[in-house]
């Protein structure tokens, strides 16, 4: 994917996740809604989920869980617009 297609910033609003039973790879679809930096987001503002609700675009072409949720890195597999809502599909990388 071309660099110009990458969205920068922090994103939230988890939509769904699935784990491939054969490979164990976890994928998450999230709405690509930018959260202003410095906002006092807390975990209590999000629905319960085993996944992070905030991702930060970082160098090397990856997303990383933001806000102290963890150090897992996620690869951007695709960026799409569904019913007018931007979404990104992330794939969790193994440590």
Q: State how far the Cα of 40 lies from the Cα of 52, in Å rounded to an integer.
A: 16
What pLDDT score does 3 carry? 33
Q: Using one digit for the tens of pLDDT, what is the confidence trace for 53-78?
A: 566 777 676 777 665 444 577 787 87
Q: Where are the chain's structural domains?
A: 9-34+50-83
- Contact partners, residue 61, CB within 8 Å, separation at least 6: 6, 75, 76
Sign of CA dihedral 43, 48, 50, 53: negative
Residue that wins the pLDDT comparison between 1 and 41: 41
Q: By the 8 A CB rule, do 69 and 53 touch?
A: yes
């Amino acid at each position: 994917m071309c660099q110009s297609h990458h969205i920068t910033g922090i994103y939230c609003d988890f939509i769904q996740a699935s784990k491939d039973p054969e490979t164990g790879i976890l994928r998450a679809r999230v709405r690509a809604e930018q959260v202003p930096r410095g906002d006092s987001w807390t975990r209590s503002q999000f629905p319960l989920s085993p996944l992070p609700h905030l991702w930060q675009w970082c160098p090397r072409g990856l997303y990383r869980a933001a806000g102290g949720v963890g150090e897992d890195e996620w690869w951007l597999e695709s960026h799409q617009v569904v019913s007018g809502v931007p979404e990104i599909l992330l794939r969790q990388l193994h440590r």
